[in-house]
Structure 1
Amino acid sequence: MRMAIIGFAAGAALLQTQAALPEASTIGLAAVAVLALPLALAAWRRRGGQGGWSATMRGAAALTLAARLAAMLAGCAAGFLWAAWLAHCALAPQLASADEGRDFTLVGTIDNLPYRFDRGVRFNFAVERVVGGVQGQVPPHVALSWYAGFRDQVTEVGDVQPGERWQLTVRLQRPHGNANPYCFDYEVWLLEQGLRATGYVRPDAGNRRLDGFVFSIGNVVEHARAVLRGRILAALPDRPYAGVIVALVVGDQRGIDQSDWAVFNRTGIGHLISISGLHITMVAGLFALAAFKLWRWSFFTRAQLPLLLPAQKVAALVGMAVALLYVLLAGFGVPAQRTLYMLTVVAAALWLNRITSVSHVLCTALGVVVLIDPWAVLWPGFWLSFGAVAVILYATVGRTTLRPARGRHGPAPAAAAQAPSRREQLWQALRLGAHTQYAVTFGLVPLSMLLFAQISVVSPLANAVAIPLISLVVTPLALVGSMLPAPLAGPVLGLAHWLVAALAACLQWFSGLRYAVWSAPTPPFWLFCWAMFGTIWLLAPRGWPVRWLGLATWIPLLAAQPSHPAPGRMTVTGFDVGQGMALLIETGRHRLLYDTGPAYAPDSNAGNRVILPYLKARGIAALDGMIVSHSDADHSGGALTLLDGIRIGWVLSSLWPNHPIALAARQHVHCAAGQGWSWDGVRFEMLHPLPSSYADTALKPNARGCTLKITAGGKSMLLAADIEAAQEAALLERDRGRLQADVLLAPHHGSGTSSTPAFLLAVQPSVAVFQVGYRNRYHHPKQEVYERYGVQGIRRLRTDESGAVTIDFSNGAGQGIGIASYRTEHRRYWNGR
């Protein structure tokens, strides 16, 4: 059974790597074959037993091995088909392409815990009907944003609460997210949540609340979460770590600042800043212990309840019920689900008077999680949650038991051995905790490198402080405080907040240490498997030969260096940042970032959402230089985040000296025509603006955009920022001979005010890259401009369609240019649906 469940999870994971789903008819036929496989296996085993072949030990072992392999293969096929069928069902509700950008008036209910931010509120909406339209045009669940300001107009945002019924006028689009290597996949997250369209609420007089609350189990749970969150925020107004308290009580982590998350992740305690399995087990255990004691004590009253039902069964039932309630409050995350299912299996075994092993419990929880949510295998939390428990079981079960008490001259008598002293019990508990932390810390090193390209060196020390404080003190205080009446809630929650603030100060010190984190490029899968083999060897039982050799398998994992192009070659990565520009230029030993993408929200930008995750996954710890072409937010939005998050040698820009980016740079220089330098056989030339342009304060930022030409191996690329027709004409007049380039970054995203025919004829590109946002409000690239490129036979690449674009300039004029788009190279079945 365990092998079948492991195969089931592997099959579901395999489905998530497919570029297309199998047809529904194929799934049905394959399902019949999978169901027939166990029957054929059983018949084969009976035939083997009758023939006498399985009577020998060798034959029995072979049959057992074959049966386990067959069970795993059958489970893998079943998991693949099950995940494919659920994917078909999830993709079926679809907004038609023709309905994108169309206004709908919808009636439905607020389907989750809304998230309020400076500019409005975001929430999920369960559609009940379309007013004035045909039912079925809109998917049943959509994700909406309601902005306080709309196109420079101030609008009123409704006070939406979970379970309320509203009528809203909305504009929708199909699911779409930025597609970049090593970055969060928003499209599959929407698919997992059952959200098949996104959009925003339009200003309309008809937007109104219809009913105060619509009863359903889900609405009751979300309403309870909203009430608890509201009580916490009311008791802790404007407190910096109120979001952490909210996360510990209801699992909503959206109120935690990105800067705090950076500290938590660097110190390796991010798993504690939520309703984790440890917290659920602790709370369920406390309630189970209380139920056990009260039920047993009733024996000394007239009730004598243990005669009706054993206290152990009552305790198991109470613990499971409390765990279920807490998991519902947590938003049903994977770690919480895993804990709930494991506790449920243990409780069921106790009620059925069955003995079950920990491996059966863990595998059952794994099977249930994947059965309910096959997309869970795509998220780091799934692998870390089950991986941590598997490592603990492997390293502790059967090895860490209380040793018998010893006298001064040898083992103590049997009676004393059965009752170790409190001091010995405490010492043994400390040893078990230390061994468990050692096993988790070392056991998860390969997985952490695969998922995050880094490990926290200070994690053991930080967790030694944070685990007891958060689990045993802060979480109980937060839970009790959130349920107390207002006069009493304030002091209790204030104490919990003070403890979190003190912990955060300690963690900031840990995070600031020079070697707090070890980073290296994300390893290939084969290297991860090799390091995992060494880790299993390292954590083997005492007596296993030369266990320390397992550490040797980590050397290529931890000592890897980021890749570079060969000398004379150049690689350019054009990120998919939405409506904005950001390109990474790499030569043999240097790296330059051209523009930093847009700002999405006050604490969210292309720097922390796209560029930094990519650099970290590649193991890139520093950039030699950064160019910020001009001050527009879609080009400079991520600059401050990057300057704070990674070492950057110098900044070249057209910004004024008192601009925050110029002030934050280690070295800032104005870009100007005539500047140039060479890196590793690659030539960089600045063509625009003229130095004299900085004296003209009337010029728009676009007119002063840093225009850069890069040449490698006889091939070149022109990065034209947001220059417009006037600047293109000026370039033609003074530098026509230097404009020719094989690849052109379309000026101003392909706007109608740039890419003039004369400019394109002078550049003569074979490839043009348009960095644009999906269905952007500016309608870039303009249709007539886009067709202009096509008429001249220029290959056109749009990042909203192709995702990130990688351009490889070969070492030699005759070897051409290699181009790869992320959505083509890493296509998944949920893309473009």
Structure 2
Amino acid sequence: MRSLIIGFACGIGLLQTQASLPGIEWYAVGLVLAALLGYTAWKFWKPLLRVPLLLTCGAWLGFLWAAAFAHYYLDQELPKAWEGRDITVIGTVADLPDRTAMGVRFRFDVEQVVMQGLVVPQVPPRLALAWYGSRRVQAPAEDGEQAAPARQMAGDLRPGARWRLTVRLKRPHGHANPDGFDYEVWLLQDDVRATGYVVDATGSGPGTGNHRLDAFVWSPSHAIELARGWLRDRIMAALSGQPYAPVVAALVMGDQRGISQADWGVFQRTGIGHLMAISGLHITMLAGLAGGLASWAWRRSRVAGMRLPLLMPAQKVAVIAGVGTAFLYVLLAGFEVPAQRTFYMLLVLGVAFWSGRFVRVSLVLCLALGAVLLLDPWAVLWPGFWLSFGAVALLLYGTVGRMRPHHAMAAAASARWWQKLWLAIKTGARAQYLVTLGLVPLTMLLFGQYSLVSPVANAVAIPLVGLVITPLSLLGSVLPAWAAQWVLQVPHELLAWLAGFLQWLDQWPFAVWRAPLPSWWMFLMAAGGTALILAPRGWPARWLGWFGWLPLVLNPATAPADGTLRVTAFDIGQGMALLVETPDHRLLYDTGPAYGTHSDGASRVILPYLRARGIERLDRVVISHSDIDHSGGALSLLGGVGVDSVYSSLPEAHPIVRASPRHQRCAAGQSWNWDGIGFTMLHPTAQSYESDKWKPNARSCVLKVQIGRQAILLAGDIEALQEQHLVEGPGADQLRATVLLAPHHGSTTSSTEPFLRAVHPELALFQVGYRNRFGHPRPEIDARYRALGIRTLRTDQSGAITLDFGDQLVAQEYRQEHARYWYDR
């Protein structure tokens, strides 16, 4: 069974690396082959033959199961013909809405699509919607009265409510960058095949406009989400204005969205992020507490005149209470993978106890693994899956079979309280040592960093959060409002103290070890070495395991070879951000847009890429001008990575200039040389800063990077007049370049024909957002490039684009090099 489940997991993982899904003929062949393998394995009793057969059989079944899931979900995709068109739908709010400063985001289950003319639009059954700001909507009719117009906020949305909405949709599309978050597969996992927003749709009749039809439509999922919302509202009301109220809410009902990015950064860097939600530890603790109380009450039922133990043993009652409590708590947690794993393991152990069977702990873990992947084949793509199962597997590897439970139980029964406490501390320290050391290779593979202060942080946080803060938070969330305000203050104050302690740890000089993401062979060597280090006492030469870590520890940041240049144009939406790398230096041109109050191109795209590469310092950052799609990520970048100097056309009072370690204005004629590669600023002129008539676009920093006979021209958002000045000015002979970053994203105000002829590029890059509201690049501009024989690449279609300048120009498109079946087809 264990071999079959492990093979099943391997098959699912293999499917998630495919560029396309298998055809129907593969299902017939695969099922027949899996049946033959299974039958052959059943006939062979020798493990040397049975294990590989079962692994192969499970792999085929996992591959086909995941493919069937993917086919079903992808077939529900929004047709391209209906993108960007107003569609009226009727349905229910499917989850707990996420309220932000810009509006509300929520999932919407479609029940009915209103006919447009003679056609019913094809709309997927689940949508991810945003409702921005205040809207004029219609209040529902009460007790048979006619509906009356009213002003409500989009924040009035509640789980389970049925609404009639007019929406504007697009197909799932996210940024595609190396080592970045894959938004498209995240939506696919949640069965969301279209995203969009609610549009103004007011009307005078009862059947028109955006309005609520029913306050609540019953279903189990709606009831769960409503309960989660009720708990969150109670906690936030009781701790109104308190900084760690969102953390208390996360511990009670698993909603982590309110935790600030600054707090999350501290939690992650100190290695306790796993505790700031409903974790497996919390579920196990609560299940044990519920089981213990149920057993205590059941045994003492004779006091009330009942003899319940004669009907059912108290131990079985404890199992039912513990598993049932765990199930309810997992539902409150949103059914995340770590919570699922814990519940399935408790369920298997409970069933085994009830049936009077002995079950190997490794089988329990494998059954939990199979259950998770059976319901969610995409779970293998997320770090939480690997860290959750990896931590439990390490605990099993490091403890099972190395203790004598009967002797330990006998000794514990006769020991004094301080001896029991010391035994508990030793056991906990051993578990923390196993997890801390054992997860280093996996954590470095997933994140490229490891918290060196995590043992200290976890030693304090695990007992405090698990035994004090979480139980008090759960108790306070269900008490009457007057009592909740007093009880919830205690866990909040403890969290505030814990946060201060973690911030102190985070300031240690070597709190976090960062390195480039290791290759697979480095990871396998480190994992093998770790297994040897944690092997049982008496195992020969365990110290040799440390040598398996050497490639991981000495893994250097990669850089272009001598005499070459690499430019990475990030898929960053409607904005600009390019990383220019020479063998020994790095320059970032623009920092991408701001997406919201706490999110921008640097925090979501650039910094994760730099950390994955092991890049901790940039020699220079050039911010072409002040427009938010070019400078929106600058402050996050300056706070997240070392920067030697900043060049920009920003005014001296600008916050980015003030935050820069060393700032210099862009001016035509500036030049420098790195590793034999020339950098020349062509625009703006120094005199332009003396006039206040120039728009930010007109003062964009234009940078040319030259390597041998090849060059790339980074033109910012200059427009036709500036292009004319460059073509007719004294530096016109410097315009010619192999690659051109299209000015102003391909707008009609730029890319004039004389300018394109003067540059004469082989390739033009358009950094644009998918279906951006400006329509960039404009069709007539794209046609102009093509008419001049210029090849064009767009980040919204290609993902991140990497250019290698050497003897030849080599362009790599991330969506082709890293093709996956869920990318926009």
Within 5 Å, give how 1:662-701 maps onto structure 2. Answer: 662-701=657-696
What is the SS of the residue equivalent to 2:300? helix
Within 5 Å, give how 1:89-238 maps onto structure 2. Answer: 89-133=72-116, 137-148=122-133, 156-205=153-202, 206-238=209-241
CA distance in 1: counterparts of 2:8 and 2:577, whole angstroms? 41
How many residues in Structure 1 have an aligned counterpart in Structure 2? 801
What is the SS of the residue equivalent to 2:163? strand
Pair 1:88-2:71 in alignment? yes
Which residue of structure 1 aligns with residue 464 of structure 2? 469
CA distance in 1: counterparts of 2:413 and 2:26, whole angstroms? 61
Pair 1:555-2:550 in alignment? yes
Please tell me the residue identity of whatever aligns with 1:212. Answer: A
Runs of 4+ in 1 over 6 A off after TM superposition: 414-417
Which residue of structure 2 aligns with residue 11 of structure 1? 11
2:700 aligned residue (697, 705, 729): 705
What is the SS of the residue equivalent to 1:275? coil
Pair 1:244-2:240 in alignment? no
Show CA shifts across 1:706-756 (max 9, x none): 000001132100000000000000001112100000000000000000000
Q: By how many angstroms is 1:419 displaced?
A: 1.9
What is the SS of the residue equivalent to 1:674? coil
Within 5 Å, give how 1:344-383 maps onto structure 2. Answer: 344-383=347-386
Which residue of structure 1 aligns with residue 739 of structure 2? 743
CA distance in 2: counterparts of 1:784 and 1:103, whole angstroms? 26
Give the TM-score of the pair, scaled to structure 2: 0.95
CA distance in 1: counterparts of 2:302 and 2:789, whole angstroms? 90
Q: By how many angstroms is 1:696 displaced?
A: 1.0
Pair 1:328-2:322 in alignment? no
CA distance in 2: counterparts of 1:494 and 1:654, whole angstroms? 49
Q: How large is the Cα RMSD of the aligned pairs?
A: 1.5
CA distance in 1: counterparts of 2:34 and 2:407, whole angstroms? 51
Show CA shifts across 1:401-436 (max 9, x none): 57969xxxxxxxx98786223222221111111111
What is the SS of the residue equivalent to 2:776? coil
Pair 1:759-2:755 in alignment? yes
Pair 1:317-2:320 in alignment? yes
CA distance in 1: counterparts of 2:93 and 2:618, whole angstroms? 45
Q: By how many angstroms is 1:99 displaced?
A: 0.5
CA distance in 2: counterparts of 1:655 and 1:480, whole angstroms? 53
Please tell me the residue identity of whatever aligns with 1:387. Answer: G
1:513 aligned residue (508, 516, 520): 508
Show CA shifts across 1:5-30 (max 9, x none): 01101110110000000012322331
Which residue of structure 1 aligns with residue 473 of structure 2? 478
Give the TM-score of the pair, scaled to structure 1: 0.94
CA distance in 1: counterparts of 2:300 and 2:352, whole angstroms? 25
Which residue of structure 1 aligns with residue 50 of structure 2? 67
Please tell me the residue identity of whatever aligns with 2:637. Answer: L
Report if aligned partners of 1:24, 1:85 keep a CA contact under 8 Å in 2.
Answer: no
Which residue of structure 2 aligns with residue 654 of structure 1? 649
Q: By how many angstroms is 1:306 displaced?
A: 1.3
Within 5 Å, give how 1:252-651 maps onto structure 2. Answer: 252-299=255-302, 302-401=305-404, 419-651=414-646
Which blocks of at least 5 consecutive residues in structure 2 are unaligned?
Answer: 136-150, 203-208
Cα separation, partners in 2 of 1:551 and 1:746, compared to 1, 3 Å: same
Cα separation, partners in 2 of 1:316 and 1:696, compared to 1, 3 Å: same
Pair 1:42-2:42 in alignment? yes
Q: Select between 130-139 and 770-779 the one with higher mean Cα deviation.
A: 130-139
CA distance in 2: counterparts of 1:266 and 1:187, whole angstroms? 27
Please tell me the residue identity of whatever aligns with 1:116. Answer: R
Q: By how many angstroms is 1:767 displaced?
A: 0.4
CA distance in 1: counterparts of 2:598 and 2:289, whole angstroms? 38
Cα separation, partners in 2 of 1:373 and 1:713, compared to 1, 3 Å: same
Q: By how many angstroms is 1:41 displaced?
A: 3.4
Cα separation, partners in 2 of 1:402 and 1:149, compared to 1, 3 Å: same
What is the SS of the residue equivalent to 1:35? helix
Q: By how many angstroms is 1:797 displaced?
A: 0.4
What is the SS of the residue equivalent to 1:686? strand
CA distance in 2: counterparts of 1:256 and 1:670, whole angstroms? 38
Which blocks of at least 5 consecutive residues in structure 1 are unaligned?
Answer: 46-59, 406-413
Cα separation, partners in 2 of 1:491 and 1:158, compared to 1, 3 Å: closer
What is the SS of the residue equivalent to 1:243? helix
What is the SS of the residue equivalent to 2:191? coil
Please tell me the residue identity of whatever aligns with 1:720. Answer: A
Show CA shifts across 1:574-630 (max 9, x none): 000000000000101100000000000100001110000000000011111101100
Please tell me the residue identity of whatever aligns with 2:102. Answer: R
Which residue of structure 1 aligns with residue 139 of structure 2? none
Report if aligned partners of 1:148, 1:155 keep a CA contact under 8 Å in 2.
Answer: no
CA distance in 2: counterparts of 1:237 and 1:788, whole angstroms? 57
What is the SS of the residue equivalent to 2:488? helix
Report if aligned partners of 1:188, 1:830 keep a CA contact under 8 Å in 2.
Answer: yes
CA distance in 2: counterparts of 1:30 and 1:615, whole angstroms? 42
Which residue of structure 2 aligns with residue 50 of structure 1? none
What is the SS of the residue equivalent to 1:741? coil
Please tell me the residue identity of whatever aligns with 1:818. Answer: V
CA distance in 2: counterparts of 1:251 and 1:167, whole angstroms? 29
Which residue of structure 1 aligns with residue 797 of structure 2? 801
Please tell me the residue identity of whatever aligns with 1:143. Answer: A
Please tell me the residue identity of whatever aligns with 1:129. Answer: Q
What is the SS of the residue equivalent to 1:354? coil
Report if aligned partners of 1:120, 1:145 keep a CA contact under 8 Å in 2.
Answer: yes
Which residue of structure 1 aligns with residue 142 of structure 2? none
Report if aligned partners of 1:598, 1:636 keep a CA contact under 8 Å in 2.
Answer: yes
CA distance in 2: counterparts of 1:275 and 1:713, whole angstroms? 57
Which residue of structure 2 aligns with residue 769 of structure 1? 765
Cα separation, partners in 2 of 1:689 and 1:382, compared to 1, 3 Å: same
Report if aligned partners of 1:606, 1:638 keep a CA contact under 8 Å in 2.
Answer: yes
Please tell me the residue identity of whatever aligns with 1:637. Answer: G
Report if aligned partners of 2:41, 2:49 keep a CA contact under 8 Å in 1.
Answer: no
Pair 1:832-2:815 in alignment? no
What is the SS of the residue equivalent to 2:414? coil
Show CA shifts across 1:84-139 (max 9, x none): 00110111112110100010011000000100000100000000011124556100
- What percent identity do the matched residue pairs reach? 57
Please tell me the residue identity of whatever aligns with 2:421. Answer: L
Cα separation, partners in 2 of 1:698 and 1:155, compared to 1, 3 Å: farther
Q: Select between 27-36 and 621-630 the one with higher mean Cα deviation.
A: 27-36
What is the SS of the residue equivalent to 2:263? helix
Q: By how many angstroms is 1:294 displaced?
A: 1.2
Cα separation, partners in 2 of 1:71 and 1:675, compared to 1, 3 Å: same
Please tell me the residue identity of whatever aligns with 2:822. Answer: W
Cα separation, partners in 2 of 1:191 and 1:271, compared to 1, 3 Å: same
2:787 aligned residue (791, 808, 822): 791
CA distance in 1: counterparts of 2:412 and 2:16, whole angstroms? 54
Q: By how many angstroms is 1:238 displaced?
A: 1.9
Q: By how many angstroms is 1:683 displaced?
A: 0.3
Please tell me the residue identity of whatever aligns with 1:785. Answer: I
CA distance in 2: counterparts of 1:105 and 1:512, whole angstroms? 52
Which residue of structure 1 aligns with residue 140 of structure 2? none
Q: By how many angstroms is 1:564 displaced?
A: 1.0
Show CA shifts across 1:533-588 (max 9, x none): 00000000011122222122112102211011122211000000000000000101
CA distance in 2: counterparts of 1:764 and 1:155, whole angstroms? 56
What is the SS of the residue equivalent to 1:179? coil
